[in-house]
Amino acid sequence: MAEHSAEVDPKLLEILVCPLTKGPLSYDRAAQELVSAQAGLAYPIRDGIPIMLVDEARPLSDDEKARLQPPAGGSAPR
């Protein structure tokens, strides 16, 4: 049986923040998670409902954290 993943309301995604850092979240549609780069956590989305509990969040791997970091150097070349 295939798992059905409900879509999350885009307006809801705009207002949600990480409960730990109060920072922004990014939506990982493939993994059905809301990711906080600041906290290094991924909050699950179950049946279209974000589970915004730190105890339910998955710690990001070192590789995932590295992908979320902005490139070193800061500014673009002129």
Q: How many domains does the chain have?
A: 1
Name every residue whose Cβ is closer than 8 Å to that of residue 8 and which is 6 or more positions away in sequence: 27, 45, 48, 50
Does residue 39 form part of some domain? yes
Does residue 69 form part of some domain? no
Does residue 75 form part of some domain? no
pLDDT of residue 72: 66
* CATH label of the domain that carries residue 40: 2.20.25.10
Does residue 54 form part of some domain? yes
pLDDT of residue 2: 41
* pLDDT tens profile 13-58: 889 999 999 999 999 999 999 999 999 999 999 998 999 999 999 9
Torsion of CA 57, 59, 65, 69, to 10 degrees: 40
Does residue 22 form part of some domain? yes
Name every residue whose Cβ is closer than 8 Å to that of residue 39 and which is 6 or more positions away in sequence: 18, 20, 21, 23, 57
pLDDT of residue 12: 87
Q: Looking at per-residue confidence, does 68 or 57 come out higher?
A: 57
pLDDT of residue 78: 53
pLDDT of residue 1: 38
